[in-house]
Amino acid sequence: MHFSFDDGYSALVAWLKTLLPIVALGLLSTIFLFSGKVDVTQSLPYAEHNVAEIIREQRITQPYFTGIASNGTEIALSAAYASPQVENAQILEITDLSVVLKSTHDRSVQVTAGQGALDSATQTVQISKNVHIAALPDFWLTTEALDMNLKQGLASAKGGFQGVTALGAITAGEMHLQMTADDQQIVFINDVRLVYSPKLID
């Protein structure tokens, strides 16, 4: 018996139309039979944990605060990040901060540090980790801890620190820095030692 090309092609197409859907159904059934079971409830604790972590670690990127102290000092505080404490939301933990104190006659002092805690209720800042104070052009100081009162424009350092002034290197038990009407006032108390060397500022 002889078939023409057209008849054979038609028969082949009809046969494939029947066979291919059957093969497809078989493959789908195999996928469902051999696929692993997924327990949706097992993923819920991780989802809850992630949400709680996001809420707990909410933070502000590049915050910037400004204000005026009681003596007219302009204060500008900026940081890389700020996030509220878990125990007290009124306290912001700030990272890589900078505080600039400026008098009414544009004399300024800049404080930079690795971290700090800003209390919005008392308007105070506890600054720590590589604290640097610069009152250009003739005063530099480094310390590990500094307390600032933003209401009064006052900064106080207690404990060990090293400073360079117009007269030379200085150390003391405490240092208090406050902006005045047209300048800044720096007071050293308790075991003050000054090594006279005016060339340090050249």
**57-79 pLDDT, tens digit each:** 677 889 998 988 888 889 999 99
**How many Å apart are CA 53 and CA 94, to the nearest integer?**
18
DSSP-derived letter for residue 9 is H
Q: Tokens 């901060």 correspond to what residue?
A: 97
DSSP-derived letter for residue 34 is H
**How many Å apart are CA 129 and CA 140, to the nearest integer?**
16
Q: What is the pLDDT of residue 40?
A: 42
CB 155 within 8 A of CB 125: no
pLDDT range class, residue 38, cuts 50, 70, 90: very low
What does the pLDDT look like over 137-183, one tens digit per residue?
678 888 889 999 998 889 998 876 778 877 888 888 888 888 776 66
Q: Tokens 């809850």 correspond to what residue?
A: 48
**How many Å apart are CA 153 and CA 186, to the nearest integer?**
12
Q: Domains, the chain, ranges and CATH?
A: 5-56 (no CATH), 60-201 (2.60.450.10)
What does the pLDDT look like over 131-145, one tens digit per residue?
999 986 678 888 889
Q: Which two tokens stand for residue 110?
A: 């800049």
